[in-house]
Amino acid sequence: VKHATEDLTFETPNRRDYVNITPQVDEVVRRSGIQHGLVLVNPMHITAAVYVNDDEGGLIADIDDWLERLAPHEPTSQYRHNNGEDNADADLKRQLMAHQVVLPMLPRRRATRPRPVGASVLRRVRRPRRKRVVVKAIGE
């Protein structure tokens, strides 16, 4: 069985950022030489998500509004987890986005087509910081 693992790193300056990571995932799959298998795309942070959808501005704005409606940031006092922090809503928003994605690797097709992968990085703290996503492919 062949396997390949790579860490992707992203800078996410805002409280919530949506980063298209499809090109990087495709590149890991291509380099792995695996024709048939599964690829897992998994963020290494509990308030980050990976999901599959188009990288389209209107759609991302709709998703962002919807996350805020179902798991509002304010009032921060409504959350018991906001103890010295103010980001308890990020844990709930992430539940709505799914944590990790598993995709089929198929020959004669780019791994992530027609399934673009967007990383919804729901940030835990205000200050900009790096986010890490593990891509793990297994197969033959």
Residue with tokens 């539940």: 95
Alpha helices in 9-108 (DSSP H): 22-32, 57-70, 88-97
State residue 53 phi and psi, 5-degree precision: -170, 180
Q: Per CB under 8 A, which of residues 6..25 are in contact with its own copies?
A: none
Q: Per CB under 8 A, which of residues 107..126 are in contact with its own copies?
A: 114-115
Q: Which of 9, 31, 46, 126 binds its own copies (CB under 8 A)?
A: 46
Which token pair is 119? 């990383």
# residues near its own copies by CB under 8 A: 51
Query: What is the three-class DSSP state of 88?
Result: helix
CA distance 67 to 94: 9
Eight-state DSSP code of residue 55: -
Closest distance of CB 127 from its own copies, Å? 19
Q: Which of 20, 27, 99, 129 binds its own copies (CB under 8 A)?
A: 99
Interface positions with its own copies (CB under 8 A) = 1, 3, 5, 36-38, 40, 42, 44-46, 51-54, 56-59, 61-63, 66, 70-71, 79-83, 88, 91-92, 95-104, 106, 114-115, 134, 136, 138-140
